[in-house]
Amino acid sequence: MSLIVIIEDNDQSSRLAARLLQRDGHEVLVADDGEMGLTTVLANPPDLILMDLGLPDLDGQTVVAMMRQQMALQHVPIIAFTAWPETTAREMVRAYGCDGVISKPIDTRRFAEQVGSFIRAATQE
Amino acid sequence: MTGQSSTFRSPDSSPAPSLVRASEYSFSELARIYNETRVDYIVPMPMNARRMEEYVRHYDVHLESSFVALNDHDEEMGIGMLGLRGRRSWITRLGIMPDQRGHHVGQFLVSKLIEAARAQAADQMQLEVIEGNDPGTRLFLKVGFEEVRRLLVIRRPPGEITGTLTFETEPLGADAVRECLASRAPGASWLDENASLLNMGRLGGLQVTLPSSKASWIVFYETPFQLSHLVLGSEDDLIALALLQAVHQAKPMLDTKLENLPLASPLWSIFQKVGYVESFRRIEMRLTL
């Protein structure tokens, strides 16, 4: 079981993602804005962070940049969770130090496996 | 929120929406409505109440001339806001609830914003629509807007900058920043006009001088986490590169976001050299009222 933090302001989207990950055996914490997200991951360094890039208080990219400046979070995989066009998102998240992208709307049949593969890849590094 | 300001008829058989002035809502309500209209947008850019309030103040949004559309059950259908600066106006924060699209609510809101702008003696209107928002672009073309130019939204993550240029840097005080902005070339988008920057406050600036004695300035808006609204005093390659190196050497830990750099700007290649990447593009459009 892994601890996953979802930082996402859309309730519907975060509830669905949390339910799928919990069903797969993970513990999930949800934060609905950037400030709460930072507080949550600093208090509970997770095994993976799912990061919405569009947040109501701070830009998602700014939050990722701030996380990467924290020693405790430097090796935690951060996966951008976004509806941005995939090509734009990939370049952007690479520049900001994210480890991958999961596009929204999520594919409910593949989502847990996608997240699991990012956790396994990080563990093997 | 109280009272409705006006009603008008839909061109299709849908019940006619009514309009409520945005000034009758709290910033928290406006942020919620706006966020709900953009939940499935290409780049959602949600806001909280504080960001909405800042947006209204920074960009001269006139809430008396901005509207929320309601259906006959008093449910919100959409929102549209109007910025006003002298005889110029700006449509912004336009959005329709996903389940209310296809009923010409966007066209209603735009026509109402045009009326409101005329009532405030505006004779020009402008807006930006995100490239790829085809329904929005079609709507604006249909009501007479014309494309003026493409704009880039670019970002640079925090990080040290390795530059080989040698230069001297001197911080600029508030008066010097204002003088620099007053001397700047025209052509900024609404977000980056001097009026926006001066509304924001918290502006910083640097004067940079090269060994050749060539000199120029850079002005920026700084929050605890982010730099934005960079304005460069020169488009000369070498000086522009020195200006960007200077600001990122001075603020290496801040994320940077620059909105609405013209795609055709010679500065884009200089920004790329110091690590900026494209986030998305906007289309700037104008209409003579």
pLDDT digits (tens, 9 = 90+) for B262-289: 999 999 999 999 999 998 899 999 999 9
Pairing verdict, β B255-262 and B18-21: unpaired
Q: Tell me the nearest-neighbour CA distance from B161 into chain A, angstroms.
A: 14
Reported as a single tens digit per residue, the pLDDT across B58-106 is: 999 999 999 999 999 999 999 999 999 999 999 999 999 999 998 899 9
Residue-level pLDDT at B161:
85
Of A26, A13, A11, A9, residue with least CA distance to A102: A13
Give the Cα separation of B283 and B95 in Å (integer). 16
Could you report the per-residue pLDDT of A60-92, keeping only the tens digit for each?
899 999 999 898 998 999 999 888 777 778 888
Distance CA B247, CA B183 (A): 20
Strand partners of residue B88:
B85, B124
> Using only C-alpha atoms, what is the Rg of chain B?
21
Of A57, A95, A96, the CB nearest to B48: A57
User: How many CA atoms lie less than 13 Å away from B30 in the CB half-sphere?
Assistant: 25
Measure Cα distances from B53 to A115, B1, B70, B133 in Å: 37, 16, 22, 26
Least confident of A107-111, B43-47, B274-278: B43-47
Q: Are B172 and B207 in contact (CB under 8 A)?
A: yes
Sheet holding A78-82, edge to edge: A27-31, A3-7, A48-52, A78-82, A100-103
pLDDT over 70, % of chain B = 95
The reply to whether CATH 3.40.630.30 applies to domain B6-122 is: yes
* Chain B residues inside the 8 Å CB shell of A35: none
Report CA-CA distances (Å) from A89 to A38, A80, B13, B101, B174.
21, 8, 40, 27, 37
Question: Which amino acid is present at A86?
Answer: E
B chain contacts of residue A68, beta-carbon cutoff 8 Å: 158
Chain A residues lying within 8 Å of B51, measured CB to CB? 56-57
In this prediction, residue B2 carries a pLDDT of: 41
- Determine the residue type at B262: P
Those residues with Cβ within 8 angstroms of residue B223's Cβ, 6 or more apart along the chain or in another chain = B202
State residue B3's pLDDT score.
Answer: 42
Buried b / exposed e over B222-236, threshold 16 CB at 10 Å, is beebbbbbbbbbbeb
B154-287 has CATH 3.40.50.720 classification? no
Is the predicted pLDDT of residue A111 greater than 70, yes or no?
yes
Residue in A55, A85, A92 nearest the CB of B42? A85
Residue-range domains of chain A with CATH? 3-115 (3.40.50.2300)
Please state the separation of Cα B80 from the chain's center in Å: 14
B47, B156, B157 ranked by CB distance to A56: nearest:
B47
Domain ranges of chain B: 6-122, 154-287
Distance to chain A for B34, nearest Cα, Å: 11
pTM > 0.80: yes or no? yes
Are A20 and A112 spatial neighbours (Cβ–Cβ below 8 Å)? yes
Query: What is the chain B residue with the closest CA to A90?
Result: B279
In angstroms, the CA B87 to CA B116 distance is 12
